């Protein structure tokens, strides 16, 4: 039997897990806890999740507006904002509209009805899109021009530049264009999601009769065509680069196509052309328990995704009313789903400009270094990860600590080491040329037992993960897809090695994906350890994920969906008890999002008891801090910058209260792991948090949160009304401390000291 089928479709969800999920999930997957769980607290205590997300993307936009940021980094923040908003509409807005249409949408925990949420999203989304376009046109674009980087229209090009673009069009663009006419013999064509299109009106000169046609801008073409100082357009597959500080001009590809429409419609008169773009519902839904084969079901669902209903229509300014009405009618969008924006549309393509080779317009160069414990170990090999881990637990902080010389080397050495008998690994997202996947394949081909738990439902990486699943299986890796009904989001590696004193298990538990590229862009933590308790925990968890182990118990792990929420709530309540008894009490948490109402209510009650609660939240936050008699002791900060803050840390004072599980009787208790405080993480995903036991590492993580919360650190402060205030300068106008720049400087100092 195909092992994919055997492991992914013939195991019913474990009864204990099913009961837990049923307890916390109603028909609406975003429904929160029961009314009894929410008793005795104000009904308006939660901020709305969707509107909080829009506020997060506004913070990204504020970085693009910040003139103290390097210019090309501001361009990149504009591209990130656009990409974020695309995904928000494809998933969150589309899901909300789907639930409204099917009648299963319920009032949000914020108290807003689904229609109210949608109305506010429509209004604020339009405001942000317009602001985004204006920031680029009125602020960033002139600043680029001052540096010799210009975005020009066709008519602004010199004659020799136009001639070169004529040749470029004929050789590189024209052959891949497909004009689609609309007439009685040709119905209105399907418009794929996020594609950039030209709506064209042509007329027959002989009869004067007009016809509508659509021309899709092929996504493999460069979004902006660079013309260097000699007037040469860039190759379509190459990223544009400016040598030194020489001038570079960019022309939107749609303008080049528009100028050559007569080549696509010879003998016709081109009367109008306008740009437009459609966003569709691209969320993936697979009912795993009804699917005979999860892999095949996912492949079918990805095909269906291409034909999801539209949820947003972007139109270029100046579009004629009749073409606007035609597109609205044929695409079936509502008036509040239409956005008219200044050209150019689709600013996700600004990454081409952001990637220019202009070091003077980027953040200063940064090269991660090997963690000092890995670099200092005395061994025959340059970095013997196993020897280093035997000496002590190693707490990694990426990207400051190199991923390639730590986690990647750990797995590569495991694959090559003849003493290694088995490797077990979770893969949620990884790169297209993944050295992690290569290491697993090498290990399998060397005869080791290799298990890869591939999460093929990782949103927008599904197709890539399907490909890797097949490649791994063909190499002899045991590929499984975890527990039916749950996404496997935890970040785990387990290596079993034969040593002189018996088998030893080496482990990695992380907060981020096994993805070398994002490990250079995201701040994440990871723990390398050969502690027997963690080794036993990971062995039990992998057995649970690949086989049957419903009664597994863990020493240093909290595992969702069973014990992450309950374990965190228990520790928060212990802090509340300590505060009531007059002992030291605090909670410090750093995550990407805080939405779960049970956790939030526990934090509110802790605040009411006198517990100081500090939250560092990059994205969505449904907490209302600073509300009298509710959350006066809660502070929330958000930090965005050069790197994407992605690590999750949970810290508790634990000042002499009763020990919980295998935790310490007293002294700070700190965890890192993969879980955010959201319903999906706590109820519908397999997540892990690992307890940190080394006192120095405990202090390091607490200090990180304290520095993030410090009033001298640049950040956004969440207000009781749900708004965010940016704090970037002090009372005298001096810039506040940049958290990430501080870590970069520390890393450079360590390098100078021989790290």
348: which strand partners?
none
Q: Report how far residue 444's alpha carbon sits from residue 423's, in angstroms, rounded to the nearest whole number.
A: 9
Q: Which domains, and CATH codes, for the chain?
A: 153-288+307-361 (3.30.1840.10), 369-550 (3.30.870.10), 559-752 (3.30.870.10)
What are the tokens at 657? Answer: 């209260």
Span 708-735, average pLDDT? 94
Span 518-547, average pLDDT? 92
The pLDDT confidence band at residue 623, using thresholds 50, 70 and 90, is very high
Beta carbons of 727 and 640 less than 8 angstroms apart: no
pLDDT of residue 588: 98
- Is the pLDDT at 633 greater than 70, yes or no? yes
Span 160-175, average pLDDT? 91
- Is the pLDDT at 302 greater than 50, yes or no? no
- Is the pLDDT at 461 greater than 60, yes or no? no
Span 198-226, average pLDDT? 90
- Is the pLDDT at 460 greater than 50, yes or no? no
pLDDT tens digit string along 382-420?
A: 558 999 999 999 999 999 999 999 999 999 999 999 999
pLDDT of residue 237: 33
* Choice between 703 and 211, residue whose per-residue pLDDT is larger: 703
- Is the pLDDT at 308 greater than 60, yes or no? yes
- Is the pLDDT at 11 greater than 70, yes or no? no
pLDDT of residue 124: 95
pLDDT tens digit string along 648-683?
A: 999 999 998 788 988 888 999 999 999 999 998 999
Nearest-5° Cα angle at 108, 102 to 109: 150
The pLDDT confidence band at residue 296, using thresholds 50, 70 and 90, is low
Span 613-627, average pLDDT? 97
Return all residues near 541 (Cβ < 8 A) that are at least 6 apart: 490, 492, 552, 554, 557, 559, 688
pLDDT of residue 64: 97
pLDDT of residue 10: 25
Instruction: Please give the model's pTM, rounded to 2 decimal places.
Output: 0.87
* Choice between 275 and 751, residue whose per-residue pLDDT is larger: 275
What are the tokens at 77? Answer: 């923040």
Q: Is 273 a catalytic site residue?
A: no
Looking at 20, 371, 397, 489, which residue is catalytic? 489
Range among 238-247, 288-297, 380-389 with highest mean pLDDT value: 380-389
Say what percent of the chain tops pLDDT 90: 60
pLDDT tens digit string along 122-133?
A: 999 999 999 999
pLDDT of residue 101: 82
pLDDT of residue 19: 39
Per this entry, what is the length of the chain? 755
pLDDT of residue 544: 85
One DSSP character per residue, 265-295 reads STTSEEEEEEEEEEEE-------GGG-S-HH
The pLDDT confidence band at residue 462, using thresholds 50, 70 and 90, is low
Return the DSSP state at 698: H
């Amino acid at each position: 039997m195909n092992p994919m089928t055997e492991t992914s479709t013939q195991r019913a969800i474990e009864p204990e897990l099913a009961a837990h999920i049923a307890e916390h999930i109603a028909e609406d997957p975003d429904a929160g806890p029961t009314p009894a769980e929410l008793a005795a607290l104000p009904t308006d205590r939660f901020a709305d999740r969707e509107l909080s997300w829009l506020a997060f993307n506004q913070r990204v936009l504020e970085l693009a507006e910040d003139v103290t940021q390097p210019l090309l980094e501001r361009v990149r923040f504009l591209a990130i904002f656009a990409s974020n908003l695309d995904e928000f509409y494809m998933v969150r807005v589309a899901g909300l509209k789907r639930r409204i249409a099917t009648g299963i949408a319920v009032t949000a925990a914020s108290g807003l009805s689904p229609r109210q949420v949608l109305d506010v999203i429509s209004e604020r989304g339009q405001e942000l899109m317009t602001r985004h376009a204006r920031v680029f046109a009125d602020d960033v674009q002139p600043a680029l021009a001052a540096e010799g980087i210009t975005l020009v229209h066709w008519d602004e090009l010199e004659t020799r530049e136009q001639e070169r673009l004529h040749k470029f069009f004929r050789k590189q663009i024209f052959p891949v264009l497909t004009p689609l006419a609309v007439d009685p013999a040709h119905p209105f064509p399907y418009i794929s999601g996020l594609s950039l299109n030209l709506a064209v009106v042509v007329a027959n000169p002989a009869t004067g009769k007009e016809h509508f046609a659509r021309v899709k801008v092929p996504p493999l073409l460069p979004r902006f065509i660079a013309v260097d100082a000699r007037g040469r357009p860039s190759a379509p597959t190459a990223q544009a680069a400016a040598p030194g500080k020489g001038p570079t001009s960019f022309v939107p590809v749609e303008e080049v196509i528009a100028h050559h429409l007569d080549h696509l419609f010879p003998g016709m008169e081109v009367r109008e052309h306008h740009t437009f773009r459609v966003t569709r519902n691209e969320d993936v839904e697979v009912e795993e328990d009804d699917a005979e084969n999860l892999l095949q079901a996912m492949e079918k669902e990805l095909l269906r995704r291409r034909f999801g209903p539209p949820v947003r229509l972007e139109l270029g300014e100046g579009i004629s009313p009749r073409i606007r009405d035609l597109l609205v009618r044929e695409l079936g969008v509502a008036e509040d789903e239409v956005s008219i924006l200044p050209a150019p549309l689709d600013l996700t393509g600004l990454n081409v400009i952001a990637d220019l080779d202009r070091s003077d317009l980027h953040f200063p160069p940064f090269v991660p270094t090997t963690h000092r414990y890995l670099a200092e170990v005395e061994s025959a090999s340059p970095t013997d990860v196993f020897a280093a881990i035997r000496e002590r637990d190693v707490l990694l902080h990426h990207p400051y600590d190199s991923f390639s010389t730590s986690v990647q080397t750990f797995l590569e050495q495991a694959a090559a080491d003849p003493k290694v008998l088995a490797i077990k690994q979770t893969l949620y997202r990884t790169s297209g040329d993944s050295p992690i996947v290569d290491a697993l394949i090498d290990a399998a081909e060397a005869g080791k037992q290799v298990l890869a738990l591939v999460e093929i439902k990782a949103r927008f990486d599904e197709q890539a993960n399907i490909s890797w699943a097949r490649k791994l299986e063909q190499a002899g890796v045991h590929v499984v897809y975890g527990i039916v009904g749950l996404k496997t989001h935890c970040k785990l590696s387990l290596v079993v090695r034969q040593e002189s004193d018996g088998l030893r298990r080496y482990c990695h538990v992380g907060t981020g994906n096994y993805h070398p590229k994002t490990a250079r862009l995201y701040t994440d933590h990871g723990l390398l350890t050969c502690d027997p308790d963690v080794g036993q925990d990971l062995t039990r968890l992998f057995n649970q994920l690949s086989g049957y182990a419903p009664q597994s118990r863990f020493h240093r792990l909290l595992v969702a969906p069973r014990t992450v929420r309950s374990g965190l709530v228990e520790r928060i309540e212990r802090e509340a008890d300590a505060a009531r008894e007059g002992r030291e009490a605090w909670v410090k948490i750093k995550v990407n999002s805080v939405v779960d109402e049970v956790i939030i209510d526990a934090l509110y009650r802790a605040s009411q008891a006198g517990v100081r609660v500090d939250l560092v939240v990059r994205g969505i936050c449904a907490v209302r801090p600073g509300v009298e008699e509710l959350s006066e002791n809660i502070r929330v900060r958000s930090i965005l910058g050069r790197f994407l803050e992605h690590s999750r840390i949970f810290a508790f004072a634990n000042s002499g209260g009763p020990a919980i599980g295998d935790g310490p009787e007293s002294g700070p208790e700190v965890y890192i792991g993969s879980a955010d405080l959201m319903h999906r993480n706590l109820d519908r995903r397999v997540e892990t948090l690992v307890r940190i036991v080394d006192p120095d590492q405990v202090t390091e993580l607490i200090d990180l949160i304290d520095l993030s919360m410090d009033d001298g650190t640049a950040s956004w402060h969440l207000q009781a009304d749900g708004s965010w205030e940016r704090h970037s300068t002090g009372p005298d106008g001096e810039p506040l401390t940049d958290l990430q720049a501080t870590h970069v400087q520390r890393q450079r100092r360590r390098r100078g000291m021989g790290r």
